[in-house]
């Protein structure tokens, strides 16, 4: 259980932050950037939730995802060093990926196929879901760069989760636009 009594510690004043197991890293470190982008995704979902009241099933899915994003942040903040840790670190598991896939399929079944790319927008809920989608894509790019860095490990399940998340958010944004009927379609070269 997390317990925070004091919010500021002054330990980050020099530009470093502590990972979950204690080691300090630069606040510009790729691992810190990765879980920071995951946190940004979660904040954007918080904005989306302000507009999800009339879609309780979608709101429940987004609430689960927000919790998963804290799990993902914890996973990234606790690097796998190959040594046995003092406690069992929280990791993203395949069941979380599979749940996202089922929810994508459930939402997508109600949408008509796309004949064009869509512009982010339509309803407020859709616009915020598109914002969260683009932030999650940045988190994914950072996580892949971290995985490709010598000495760094990012689990396959964490990478799958963040990849499925952007797919989920795309489908959810369309679903929030009257199940795709209010999507704003891209018209190539319209303003030439």
What is the mean pLDDT, run by run of 10 residues, along the chain of 192 residues?
Answer: 65 68 72 96 98 95 98 92 78 98 98 92 96 98 97 96 98 96 94 94
The per-residue pLDDT for 131 is 98
Count how many Cα atoms sit within 13 Å of the Cα of residue 33 in the half-sphere of its side chain.
Answer: 13
For 50-192, where are the alpha helices, taking DSSP H only?
56-77, 94-108, 124-147, 156-176
Instruction: Identify the residue whose tokens are 């683009």.
Output: 134
d(CA 17, CA 25): 6
Options 1.20.1200.10, 3.30.1490.20, 1.10.10.10, 3.30.70.141; CATH for 28-78+91-185 is: 1.20.1200.10
- Name every residue whose Cβ is closer than 8 Å to that of residue 67 and which is 6 or more positions away in sequence: none
Mapped onto helix, strand or coil, the DSSP state of residue 6 is: coil
d(CA 189, CA 110): 30
Instruction: Of 26, 16, 22, 36, give the one whose Cα is nearest residue 142.
Output: 36
| Rounded CA Rg of the chain | 18
Contact call for residues 82 and 156 (beta carbons, < 8 A):
no
Global pTM?
0.91
- Name every residue whose Cβ is closer than 8 Å to that of residue 184 and which is 6 or more positions away in sequence: 118, 119, 121, 122, 177
The per-residue pLDDT for 130 is 98
């Amino acid at each position: 259980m997390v317990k925070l009594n004091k919010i500021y510690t002054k330990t980050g004043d020099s530009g470093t932050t502590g990972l979950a197991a204690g080691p300090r890293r630069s606040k510009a470190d790729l691992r810190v950037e990765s879980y920071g982008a995951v946190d940004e995704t979660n904040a954007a979902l918080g904005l989306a939730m302000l507009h999800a009241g009339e879609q309780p099933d979608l709101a429940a899915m987004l609430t689960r995802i927000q919790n998963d994003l804290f799990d993902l942040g914890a996973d990234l903040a606790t690097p796998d060093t190959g040594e046995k840790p003092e406690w069992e670190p929280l990791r993203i598991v395949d069941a979380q990926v599979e749940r996202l896939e089922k929810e994508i399929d459930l939402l997508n079944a109600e949408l008509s196929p796309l004949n064009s790319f869509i512009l982010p927008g339509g309803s407020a809920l859709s616009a915020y879901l598109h914002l969260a989608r683009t932030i999650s894509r940045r988190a994914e790019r950072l996580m892949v760069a971290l995985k490709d860095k010598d000495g760094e490990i990012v689990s396959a399940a964490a990478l799958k989760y963040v990849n499925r998340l952007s797919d989920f958010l795309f489908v959810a944004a369309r679903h929030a636009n009257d199940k795709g009927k209010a999507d704003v379609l891209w018209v190539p070269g319209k303003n030439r």
